[in-house]
């Protein structure tokens, strides 16, 4: 079982020195609203949403890397449903690793 990814991994995404105050205020507001949403959501709903967001993250990460991933492939990888074709199997294994890493 993989450990949950540390938030320090995205530290290069921190704001620089010349960020407008309005942007900082919006970021603080977003963090507060996301905390409220977490407290308000039913745990089963939150779990379903996190599953959908995981798939979206995987889809767009692969798209950014130049892979035209289909949602069916992501679902198959999540269910460990690999095909005999070695190239597809390796590709789907990559998707599975991405999904599993984000899950835990």
pLDDT in tens, 51-69: 788 888 888 888 887 878 7
* Residue 69 and residue 59 in contact, taking contact as beta carbons nearer than 8 Å: yes
25 Cβ partners below 8 Å, 6+ apart? Answer: none
- DSSP assigned state of 3: P
The SS3 call for residue 72 is: helix
Domain ranges (residues) in the chain: 42-104
Question: Any idea of the CA torsion for 86, 104, 10, 77, to the nearest 10 degrees?
Answer: 20
Looking at residue 22, its pLDDT comes to 92
pLDDT above 70 coverage of the chain, percent = 66
What is the pTM (predicted TM-score) of this model? 0.48
- Residue scoring higher pLDDT (73 or 13): 73
Biggest CA–CA distance in the chain, Å, is 54
């Amino acid at each position: 079982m993989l450990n949950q990814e540390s938030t320090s991994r995205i530290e290069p995404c921190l704001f620089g020195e010349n960020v407008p105050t309005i942007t900082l205020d919006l970021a603080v507001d977003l963090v507060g609203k996301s905390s409220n949403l977490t407290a308000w959501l039913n745990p089963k709903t939150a779990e379903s949403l996190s599953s959908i967001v995981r798939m979206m993250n995987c889809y767009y990460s692969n798209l950014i890397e130049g892979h035209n991933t289909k949602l069916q492939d992501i679902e198959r990888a999540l269910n460990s449903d690999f095909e005999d074709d070695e190239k597809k199997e390796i590709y789907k294994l990559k998707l599975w690793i991405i999904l599993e890493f984000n899950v835990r």
